[in-house]
Structure 1
Amino acid sequence: MVTALPSSASQDARLTKGERTRLQLLEVAAAEFAERGFQHTRISDIVARAGVTQPVFYQYFASKQAAYDELVGMFAQRLRLAITQARLPGDLKGAELAARIRQGVGRLLAILQEDPNLTRIGFYQADEAQALKDELVAMIADNVRAEQQAGLFRPALSADWIAESLMGIIERFTRQTPDAARQQALAEFITDLMLDGMRKRQGP
Structure 2
Amino acid sequence: MGQRRGRQKGSIGIKSKEAILVIAAEEFAEHGFHQTKVSNIVKRAGLTQPSFYLYFPSKEAIFQELIHTFRNNLINLTKESRLEPNLDKSILSSKISRGLSAIFQFFDEHRHLTRIGFFIADESKEIKQLMVMHITENLLAEQQDNYFRQDLDMQTVAECIIGAIERLTITKLFTDEKSPQQLVNEIVDIYLYGLQNTKSNSSSFGDEGD
Shorter chain as denominator, the TM-score bin is: 0.7 to 0.9
Q: Which amino acid aligns with 2:138?
A: N
Q: Given that residues 193 and 199 in structure 2 are in contact (C-alpha distance below 8 angstroms), is that contact kept between their aligned partners in structure 1?
A: no
Corresponding residue to 1:162 among 139, 154, 157: 157
TM-fit CA distance, 1:93:
2.4
Q: Tell me, in whole angstroms, the C-alpha distance in 1 between the residues paired with 2:54 and 2:199.
A: 66
* Distance in 1 separating the partners of 2:112 and 2:20: 13
1:196 aligns with 2:193: yes
Length, aligned pairs only:
189
Match of 1:41 in 2: 36
Query: Post-superposition shift, 1:178?
Result: 5.6
For residues 190 and 129 of structure 1, the distance between their equivalents in structure 2, rounded to whole angstroms, comes to 22
Classify the secondary structure of the residue corresponding to 1:89: coil
Superposed, 1:92-171 pairs within 5 Å as: 92-171=87-166
* In 1: Cα distance, 2:87 partner to 2:176 partner: 29
Identical pairs, percent: 38
Structure 1 residue 56 displacement after superposition? 0.8
2:203 alignment counterpart: none
Root mean square deviation, CA, Å: 1.7
Residue in 1 aligned with 2:179? Answer: 182
Alpha-carbon spacing, 1:180–1:74, altered in 2? closer, same or farther (3 Å):
farther
Aligned to 1:63: 58
Deviation at 1:92, TM superposition (A): 1.2
Superposed displacement of residue 162, structure 1: 0.8
AA aligned to 2:71 is A
CA contact (8 A) 1:137 1:164 kept: yes
After superposing on structure 2, the runs of 4+ consecutive aligned residues of structure 1 that deviate more than 6 Å are none
**What letter matches 1:113 in structure 2?**
D
Residue number among 24, 38, 56 corresponding to 2:19 in the alignment: 24
Give 1 or 2 for the bigger CA radius of gyration.
Answer: 2
Unaligned runs of 5+ in 1: 1-14
1:100 alignment partner AA: K
Q: Which amino acid aligns with 1:117?
A: H
TM (norm. structure 2) is 0.85
Q: Distance in 2 between matches of 1:137 and 1:114?
A: 22
Quickly say closer, same or farther: Cα 1:149–1:202, change in 2 above 3 A.
closer
**Does the 8 A contact of 1:34 with 1:118 survive in 2?**
yes
Alpha-carbon distance between aligned partners in 2 of 1:180 and 1:140, rounded to the nearest angstrom: 26
Q: Does 1:82 align with 2:69?
A: no
Superposed CA deviations along residues 109-161 of structure 1, whole A, max 9, x for unmatched, are 11111111111111111011111111111110110001111111111111011
Gaps of 5+ in 2: 1-9, 201-210
| Alpha-carbon distance between aligned partners in 2 of 1:202 and 1:190, rounded to the nearest angstrom | 14
